[in-house]
């Protein structure tokens, strides 16, 4: 029971209120019982004093016979007992409804005072002897009132108890209900449930507390949503970092694989020439082949360094506005001899003064790789189309060359590092396998869209400068 009371605020307030009300009721009853006696006697003293003073003034002028009649009437009118004494204090006669007898040894004044006598008055008569009168006011009325209160005391106790219980119930509910509502609201907050709109509709301190809880819930909900959003972004960043890390591991693994083959070839050729094994006795022939392998490795290392530089954390684009047609013309001029040696026809259609904002050095590499790949992988006596034009308000650069179509599922793989098709992208045709990979990196850094697709003549790639 004690534990239940200790754990429930409503029960504690109910019991405390009930005990308090019952205590106040008891005190009120005691004060009424005590106050009836005191107030009656005080009232009796005041009224008697005035009436008696008036009586005394009348007694001083009447005869002794009339004085006795007046004292008797006065005693009956005020329900008093009056003792008439001579000037020496000797009792002469008593008047009133209360009769008492005193022991000869008893002090009559003390005895009568104990029964309620209020005052002693002196009657100075104009003729004859002087007298004293003792006025005694009985407590009979006071005792009657107290007896009446005592008779109805059980009923008063029951009524006070029931009223106290009813008031305690309503008061405890009025006090504890909003607190219980706020307690449930705070529990929801602890469980991260923020749907507690206005828990109590009041304007006092409890209402202010409820409004503060409501605002706290809104603030926590916003903070939690923001935290979830940032956590989601963080998870995405972590996934992106993991992907980049995996890409780097894959890249270095591919680099190791790609370098291993030419190194092995070069090592075998040099060893054969040193030991003059078979055909390796013709040193000039295999020295030229070794030189070609070294050149191929040199090109690959340069491409790898370009990739590493672009991927470095401190790398930043140096954008300038250039005339795209001038860059394309310069690249075509550098590769023109290779195209002539293969008997290729170059169909060139360039929009003049095509200004684009790019990193000039990187974009020269993009144009060079795309045109170089088109020339390299076009069969002898084939055609290559190089164009710059406008489409939908954007400048478009495209390169198309005659070749066999590439399966659609294989096209995205062309931009992976060191990817080569079995036939047209083999090492016999040269190349590091990083050309299109670098092109993709540079275009993504600039934010330019690009498309690689099959055509009726072969394959084409276009860059959209938006």
Q: CA-CA distance, 37 to 23, in Å (whole number)? A: 22
Predicted pLDDT at 77: 79
Structural domains of the chain sorted by starting position, each given as residue range(s) with its CATH number in brackets = 2-157 (3.30.450), 316-465 (3.30.565.10)
Q: CA-CA distance, 293 to 432, in Å (whole number)? A: 11
What does the pLDDT look like over 261-309, one tens digit per residue? Answer: 678 877 887 888 887 777 777 777 878 888 777 877 776 777 677 777 7
To 10 degrees, what angle do helices 205-275 and 283-311 make? Answer: 170
Q: CA-CA distance, 466 to 328, in Å (whole number)? A: 18
Predicted pLDDT at 116: 53
Predicted pLDDT at 113: 45
- Banded model confidence at residue 386, pLDDT cuts 50, 70, 90: very high
Q: Which residue has the higher pLDDT, 63 or 33?
A: 63
Predicted pLDDT at 99: 45
Res 146 pLDDT > 70: no
Q: CA-CA distance, 109 to 102, in Å (whole number)? A: 10
What does the pLDDT look like over 224-249, one tens digit per residue? Answer: 888 888 888 898 888 888 877 776 67
Q: CA-CA distance, 300 to 297, in Å (whole number)? A: 5
Predicted pLDDT at 250: 66
Predicted pLDDT at 104: 47
Predicted pLDDT at 461: 92
Task: Give the distance, in angstroms, between the CA of residue 253 and the centroid of all CA atoms in the same chain.
Answer: 48
What does the pLDDT look like over 308-318, one tens digit per residue? Answer: 777 666 677 78
What's 278-346 look like in SS3? HHHHCHHHHHHHHHHHHHHHHHHHHHHHHHHHHHCCCCCCCEEEEEHHHHHHHHHHHHHHHHHHCCCEE
What does the pLDDT look like over 151-170, one tens digit per residue? Answer: 777 777 788 778 877 877 77
Predicted pLDDT at 149: 65
Q: CA-CA distance, 325 to 348, in Å (whole number)? A: 10
* Assessment of whether the complete model's pTM goes beyond 0.75: no
At a CB cut-off of 8 Å and minimum separation 6, what does 385 contact? 347, 349, 398, 399, 400, 401, 457, 460
At a CB cut-off of 8 Å and minimum separation 6, what does 318 contact? 359, 360, 361
Number of C-beta neighbours around residue 24 at 10 A? 12
Res 427 pLDDT > 60: no
Q: Which residue has the higher pLDDT, 115 or 173?
A: 173
């Amino acid at each position: 029971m004690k534990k239940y009371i200790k754990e429930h605020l409503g029960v504690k307030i109910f019991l405390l209120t009930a005990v308090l009300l019952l205590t106040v009721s008891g005190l009120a009853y005691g004060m009424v019982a005590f106050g009836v006696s005191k107030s009656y006697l005080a009232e009796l003293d005041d009224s008697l004093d005035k009436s008696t003073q008036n009586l005394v003034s009348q007694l001083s002028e009447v005869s002794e016979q009339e004085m006795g009649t007046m004292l008797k009437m006065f005693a009956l009118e005020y329900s008093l007992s009056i003792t008439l004494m001579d000037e020496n204090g000797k009792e002469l006669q008593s008047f009133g409804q209360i009769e008492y007898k005193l022991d000869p040894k008893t002090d009559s004044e003390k005895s009568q005072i104990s029964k309620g006598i209020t005052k002693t008055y002196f009657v100075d008569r104009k003729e004859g002897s002087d007298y004293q009168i003792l006025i005694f006011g009985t407590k009979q009325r006071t005792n009657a009132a107290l007896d009446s209160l005592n008779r109805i005391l059980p009923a008063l106790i029951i009524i006070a108890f029931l009223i106290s219980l009813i008031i305690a119930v309503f008061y405890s509910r009025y006090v504890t209900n909003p607190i219980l509502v706020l307690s449930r609201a705070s529990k929801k907050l602890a469980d991260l449930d923020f749907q507690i709109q206005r828990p109590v509709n009041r304007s006092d301190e409890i209402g202010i507390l409820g409004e503060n809880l409501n605002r706290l819930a809104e603030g926590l909900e916003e903070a939690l949503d923001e935290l979830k959003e940032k956590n989601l972004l963080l998870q995405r960043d972590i996934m992106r970092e993991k992907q980049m890390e995996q890409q780097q591991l894959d890249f270095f693994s591919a680099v190791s694989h790609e370098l291993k083959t030419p190194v092995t070839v070069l090592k075998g050729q040099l060893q054969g020439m040193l030991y003059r094994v078979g055909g390796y006795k013709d040193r000039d022939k295999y020295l030229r082949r070794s030189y070609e392998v070294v050149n191929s490795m040199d090109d690959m290392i340069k491409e790898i360094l370009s990739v590493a530089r672009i991927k470095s954390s401190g790398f930043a684009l140096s954008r300038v506005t250039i005339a795209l047609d001038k860059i394309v013309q310069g690249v075509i001029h550098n590769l023109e001899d290779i195209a002539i040696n293969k008997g290729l026809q170059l169909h060139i259609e360039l929009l003049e003064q095509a200004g684009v904002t790019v990193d000039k050095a990187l974009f020269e590499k993009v144009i060079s790789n795309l045109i170089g790949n088109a020339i390299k992988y076009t069969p002898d006596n084939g055609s290559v189309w190089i164009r710059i034009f406008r489409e939908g308000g954007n400048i478009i650069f495209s390169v198309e060359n005659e070749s066999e179509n590439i399966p659609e599922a294989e096209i995205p793989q062309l931009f992976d590092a060191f990817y080569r098709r079995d036939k047209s992208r083999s090492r016999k045709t040269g190349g590091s396998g990083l050309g299109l990979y670098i092109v993709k990196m540079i275009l993504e850094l600039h934010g330019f869209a690009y498309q690689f697709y099959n055509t009726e003549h072969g394959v084409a790639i276009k860059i959209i400068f938006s």
